[in-house]
Structure 1
Amino acid sequence: MVDFKGVQLKIGPFYVYSLTMMLGMLTAILTIYYFWRREKYSFEKLAILIFIALPTALIGARIYFIIQQAIEGNWSTVKRFWAIWEGGLSIQGGVITATICCVMYIIFSKSKEKIDLKKAFTIILPAVLIGQAIGRWGNFANHEVYGQVMSESSLAFKILPPIIRQHMYIDKAYRLPLFLYESIANLIAYILIVWVLNFFNWLRPGTTAGIYLIYYGILRSGMEPLRDGSYGIYKVISAFYIIVGLIFVVMCEFVIKLNYNVYKIPLYKNEKTHKYFYFLVYEPKQKHSYVVKSNDKKILNKQAQEIQVVNNSSNIDAK
């Protein structure tokens, strides 16, 4: 039986860990781009945010990991702080660092195009889930983020695909594939938060960002004690996620005054479906109308249609 402790899988000269990180980032960016475009924000602004977020996320993720290793006294890892391909990126650290940097840019940017900060949170933060779901397979490639010993008679051992079961033989014992559990949990949350709540905009801007923080904080709080070698710093960060997420949800959904006009935009051309199939658009009240171009075939017919205003009784024409 091959013991995969410390083994790092490669495809040719490339580490699988690095490839999964890049694929996860790319998928998250494509998700963000879809909703960014739906909000009619410019690609230039998004490109700047990506240019800020990617390097700061990697730097922040590595710094948090190195801090955790220093706390644990693993000085051999600390001395090789640059060896990212060997594993060792704190997802929470990357998200926190990149978020702070992007928020500073949005707040202090002197560009004429203003980005709604709550909408930016809603679009960007939950999309990180798909990057995390894919990125966890990098932990599989590096044979890390695994749990306690798994009995060969257990249900988990029996239902695991042979390739995963084989690679979970680490340090002379089969281990629980925590990376797999978290990957699946993140994928489910990504579908529900991004492609249900965000797609239909059922909640106010900023709320789903808080839901993401609460969800991932709870997930990591539950997973961390199961890890082989649990780290206290991640428990603290998870608690921080939950607290900040709760503040986000309460403030965005219940406390902050709704300073938007809210419109229903039908998903399909057939008028019979408009009552049931639509998404909501939140437009700042200082803008007096929401203009939908008639050549946008994915949203409306070429002919002008009536768009219902949700937060007041007035109607506007879509042109």
Structure 2
Amino acid sequence: MGSSAALLGRFQSPGAEIVDIGPLTLRWYGLLIASAVLIGVTLSQYLAKKRGVDSEQLGDLVIWLVVGAIPCARLYYVLFEWESYAGRPADMIAIWKGGIAIHGAILGGAIAALIFARLNRLRFWQLADLVAPSLILGQAIGRWGNFFNSEAFGSPTDLPWKLYIPLSQRPAGYRAFEYFHPTFLYESLWNLGVFALLLTLFFWGLRHPQKLKTGTLFLTYMIAYSLGRVWIEGLRTDSLMLGPLRVAQLVSLAEIGLGSLGLVWLYLLRRPLPDVVKQPSKATSNAPQTPSERKPYDP
């Protein structure tokens, strides 16, 4: 019993590096991001097949998302931490050391997806729905990169699941404290719950295609993820700040508002969300089509 209590009281990262072979260093952060992308591609393509959407297009889209999301996630973080990076510009691209912002990734990914949808004449909201479960699952996986880097932790705590942070990683003003809230774990578990919610909605929508409107999954993702982020961010000691305000909380509140307005638009006003490609009319949808032209019905 005593050893179990001691184990719970010493939740600690084993280090950021997996193996170091000469000039080659394999880090947990990079491995987790790569794993999240691979799992995300596989899941998105599986969901696309279930919806009758070309899975190869989802594979192409993921490449665009990675190219748009990761640089924007890093740029977003660096801009809000400019004082820390102004004197060491080489570290601005050292993404393997940590320091990316999911809201920057969402913004960059959304821009990339809009361009991809426009170029390929695809419906943005349909693509967003198919990507949303993979996105939140990837976030759940990626948060463990923060654990291995001993970053993104919360305020000091003495709870049984407290996280030990080495002295070198503790922020100024917290040097005397050893144990902190594992906010990376809170968010990872929350994200897994959102993932389960989105998959439940997705498969419910397959059985009730007239009831689940296009865009619902992504809007639900925006609201559900942001609800968790608001309270978890309040525990952190390393939040990106805009004066006295936590940027992530402000953005999360905005996403909750926008997501809620989107659902009102869909279900109370009964109108489709604005898209880069117009929704086909019922007459067009019901017209005979060749196999290459046929599109799945999507409310």
Per-residue Cα deviation, 1:42-71 (whole angstroms, up to 9, x for no partner): 23422321221111111111111111111x
**Aligned pair in 2 of structure 1 residues 147, 6: CA closer, same or farther (>3 Å)?**
farther
2:201 partner amino acid: L
Partner SS for 1:125: helix
Query: In the alignment, is residue 53 of structure 1 matched against residue 65 of structure 2?
Result: yes
Identity of aligned residues (%): 24
Q: How many pairs does the alignment contain?
A: 257
Quote the residue 1:134 is aligned against: 141
Match of 1:250 among 258, 264, 270: 264
8 A contact 1:209–1:248 mirrored in 2? no
2:132, 2:194 → 1: CA distance? 12
Counterpart Cα distance in 2 of 1:85 and 1:191: 29
Q: CA deviation at 1:100?
A: 1.5
Deviation at 1:39, TM superposition (A): 2.4
Per-residue Cα deviation, 1:44-102 (whole angstroms, up to 9, x for no partner): 422321221111111111111111111x5553465511100000111111111111121
State the Cα RMSD in Å.
3.2
Say whether residues 1:85 and 2:89 are aligned partners.
no
* Residue number in structure 2 paired with 1:116: 123
Q: Which 5+ residue runs of structure 2 have no aligned equivalent?
A: 1-9, 171-176, 206-210, 241-245, 274-278, 292-296
Instruction: Say which of 230, 234, 241 aligns to 1:221.
Output: 230
TM-score by structure 1 length? 0.71
Shift of residue 246, structure 1, vs aligned partner? 1.5
CA distance in 1, matches of 2:196, 2:281: 27
Alpha-carbon distance in structure 2 between the residues aligned to 1:48 and 1:181? 32
Shift of 1:204: 1.4
Could you tell me how far apart the structure 2 residues matched to 1:17 and 1:34 are? Answer: 26
Aligned to 2:18: 10
The runs of 5 or more residues in structure 1 that have no matched partner are: 158-164, 260-281, 294-308, 312-319
Largest Rg, 1 or 2: 1
Give the aligned residue type for 2:140: A
Per-residue Cα deviation, 1:148-168 (whole angstroms, up to 9, x for no partner)? 1122xx3434xxxxxxx4567
Aligned residue for 1:204, secondary structure, equals coil
Q: Does 1:97 align with 2:108?
A: yes
2:32 partner SS: helix
Contact 2:77–2:100, Cα closer than 8 Å, also in 1: yes
Contact map agreement 2:214 2:272 (CA 8 A) in 1: no
Structure with more helix by fraction: 2
Quote the Cα distance in structure 1 between the aligned partners of 2:280 and 2:165. Answer: 50
Correspondence for 1:212 among 195, 206, 221: 221
Please give the per-residue CA displacement for 1:131-155, whole angstroms capped at 9, x wherever unaligned.
000000111111111111122xx34
Aligned residue in 2 for 1:317: none
TM-score (structure 2 length as normaliser): 0.75
Change (3 A) 1:121 1:258: same
1:167-178 → structure 2 map (5 Å cutoff): 171=170, 173-178=178-183
Q: Which amino acid aligns with 2:97?
A: E
